[in-house]
């Protein structure tokens, strides 16, 4: 039986003893080809479109026999299948956790996640939105009182929020890199783009990091995260956190290279059973095919549209569909006047021009709604979101900036005005409404979507519905043919 010896540090594992056939297999299995990097500017579906790209990421350096440390578990399994005897040794000194008394308010599933991280030092914790991932991570960090810790987040707003949570839990100063700051402490929160800049500039503090937490790690399937994690050679514990550790572009392997494989899962039902979140009530309202209604021929082969054609179709069928937009207004009006409404309403759109159209149309019907998107002035957006959180504003129209990292515990209704195609995005959006508030007075979480009648967006609607059934259960999904029927379903979900 051949022997493969693996020597690894926090970023790289070196393999020795491989024959050519095994190297060929590793090269094939550890190469990622992404053919779906399609993106348009959020601000407009007509002004700027980025081209379709295909790019390849090779995660096995065949010349030096190196792999990212996060792929060790996968590679060891493969080598054992190929009948290798595998010997593993770390080149870093052992970092031992200490026993600490955890606070009584931590839930059983949070404690189970922490224990899994202590026994599996590299891996992803899959925990639903609203389950307390940040507090779980803070409690995990408390087991390493003398270690240097980096907590990586994708966005500035999440960095500030996370820093506050860690500061309150750990009772010590927490550094911040990003959001205009460059302050390193024993425990530091960093925005990924700022950290990549630091890595490229050979920031000495990165070499001290022994514990690395990657929040919203579904973003880690990219070159920037790979650059960062490859600079952390002394890391011994690397934990990814996400409600949705999957990618729509086939780059899960890159995410695994940064964080490791999924080592702990708790499901929405488990968290809902103890009252920490509500399961969603998902209602689709049918929208007639605009092509049929206006006696226009629908595109015959919508399965092979390029991005420009999709955006043109989106503009016609979704953003500038007067009947569909009017349906959004009617739904919002009915929810605002619902006597049993306990929380507030968030209308979500994909493109800023659509959001502006919706706000104008709501205003024409004497409904005031602030508009928040990625280009909204920061001070205005912050004030609006805080007012919305505190129920001083009953309604807000928002963009994809609400996918991750914003706690809206009083949010009771989401209205999908757009037509998202991404499972991950759909999951993250729904996660905004699942949280319960601190007084547990919010007893329902309702998602209103539209079942589009045309071929292309009809398939998207069906996919979103199937996602809800697969992710939660079929009892969560409903079809309402009128607003009164929608309200009847909504009322039936009051606890």
Q: Name the DSSP letter for residue 316.
A: I
CA-atom Rg of the chain in angstroms: 24
Q: What is the pLDDT of residues 319-376, one digit of tens each?
A: 999 999 999 999 999 999 999 998 999 999 989 999 999 999 999 999 999 999 888 8
Q: How far is Cα 287 from Cα 289, in angstroms, rounded to an integer?
A: 7
Q: How far is Cα 211 from Cα 147, in angstroms, rounded to an integer?
A: 7
Percent of the chain predicted with pLDDT > 70: 94
Q: Are 345 and 395 in contact (CB under 8 A)?
A: yes
Q: What is the pLDDT of residues 87-137, one digit of tens each?
A: 999 999 889 999 999 999 999 999 999 999 999 999 999 998 888 899 999
Q: What is the pLDDT of residue 117?
A: 96
Q: What is the pLDDT of residue 217?
A: 95
Q: To the nearest 5 percent, what fractions of the chain are helix, strand and coil?
A: 40, 20, 35
Tell me the average pLDDT across 31-50.
54
Query: How would residue 47 be classed by pLDDT, with cut points 50, 70 and 90?
Result: very low
Closest CA to 358 of 337, 333, 328: 328
Average pLDDT, the chain: 89
Tell me the average pLDDT across 30-37.
72
Q: What is the pLDDT of residues 190-238, one digit of tens each?
A: 999 999 999 999 999 999 999 999 999 999 988 899 999 999 999 999 9
149 or 386, higher pLDDT:
149
Tell me the average pLDDT across 405-427.
82
Give the global pTM.
Answer: 0.84
Q: What is the pLDDT of residue 35?
A: 52
Q: What is the pLDDT of residue 440?
A: 55
Determine which helix (DSSP H) or strand (DSSP E) holds 402, and give its type and residue range: none
Q: Name the DSSP letter for residue 277.
A: B
Q: How far is Cα 475 from Cα 468, in angstroms, rounded to an integer?
A: 10
Query: How would residue 438 be classed by pLDDT, with cut points 50, 70 and 90?
Result: low
Q: Are 42 and 418 in contact (CB under 8 A)?
A: no
Q: What is the pLDDT of residues 250-283, one digit of tens each?
A: 789 999 999 999 999 998 888 888 878 888 899 9
Q: What is the pLDDT of residue 419?
A: 86
- Does residue 11 have a pLDDT over 60? yes
């Amino acid at each position: 039986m051949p022997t493969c010896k693996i020597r690894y540090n926090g970023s790289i594992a070196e393999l020795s003893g491989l024959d050519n056939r095994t190297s060929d297999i590793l090269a094939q299995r550890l190469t990622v080809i992404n053919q779906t990097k399609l993106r348009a500017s959020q601000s407009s579906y007509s002004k700027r479109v980025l081209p379709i790209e295909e790019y390849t990421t090779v995660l096995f350096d065949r010349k030096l026999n190196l792999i990212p440390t996060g792929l060790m578990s996968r590679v060891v399994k493969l080598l054992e299948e190929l009948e290798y005897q595998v010997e593993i040794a770390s080149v870093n000194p052992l970092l031992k956790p200490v026993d600490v008394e955890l606070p009584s308010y931590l839930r059983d599933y949070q404690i189970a996640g922490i224990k899994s991280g202590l026994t599996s030092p590299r891996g992803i914790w899959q925990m639903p939105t609203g389950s307390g991932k940040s507090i779980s991570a803070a409690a995990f960090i408390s087991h390493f009182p003398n270690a240097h810790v980096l907590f990586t987040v994708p966005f500035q707003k999440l960095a500030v929020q996370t820093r506050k949570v860690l500061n309150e839990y750990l009772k010590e100063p927490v550094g911040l890199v990003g959001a205009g700051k460059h302050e390193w402490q024993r425990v530091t929160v960093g925005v990924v783009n700022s950290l990549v800049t630091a890595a490229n500039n050979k920031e000495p503090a990165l070499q001290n990091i022994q514990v690395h937490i990657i929040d919203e790690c579904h973003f880690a399937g990219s070159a920037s995260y790979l650059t960062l994690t490859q600079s952390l050679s002394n890391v011994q514990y690397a934990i990814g956190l996400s409600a949705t550790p999957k990618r729509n572009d086939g780059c899960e392997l890159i995410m695994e290279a940064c964080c490791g494989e999924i080592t702990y899962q708790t499901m929405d039902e488990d968290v809902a059973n103890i009252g920490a979140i509500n399961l969603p009530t998902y209602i689709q309202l049918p929208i007639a095919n605009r092509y049929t209604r206006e006696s226009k021929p629908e595109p015959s082969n919508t399965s092979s549209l390029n991005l420009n054609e999709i955006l043109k179709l989106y503009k016609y069928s979704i953003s500038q569909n007067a009947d569909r937009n009017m349906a959004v207004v009617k739904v919002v009006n009915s929810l605002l006047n619902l006597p049993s409404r306990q929380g507030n309403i968030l209308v979500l759109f994909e493109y800023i021009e659509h959001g502006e159209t919706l706000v104008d149309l709501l205003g024409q019907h004497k409904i005031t709604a602030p508009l928040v998107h990625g280009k909204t002035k920061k001070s205005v957006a912050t004030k609006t979101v805080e007012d919305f959180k505190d129920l001083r504003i009953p309604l807000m129209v928002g963009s994809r900036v609400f996918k991750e990292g914003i706690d809206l515990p009083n949010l009771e209704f989401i209205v999908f005005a757009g037509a998202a195609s991404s499972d991950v995005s759909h999951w993250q959006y729904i996660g905004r409404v699942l949280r319960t508030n601190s007084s547990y007075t919010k007893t329902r979480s309702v998602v209103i979507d539209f079942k589009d009648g045309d071929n292309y967006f009809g398939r998207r609607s069906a996919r979103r519905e199937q996602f809800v059934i697969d992710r939660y259960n079929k009892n969560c999904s409903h079809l309402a043919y009128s607003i009164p029927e929608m309200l009847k379903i909504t009322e039936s979900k009051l606890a």
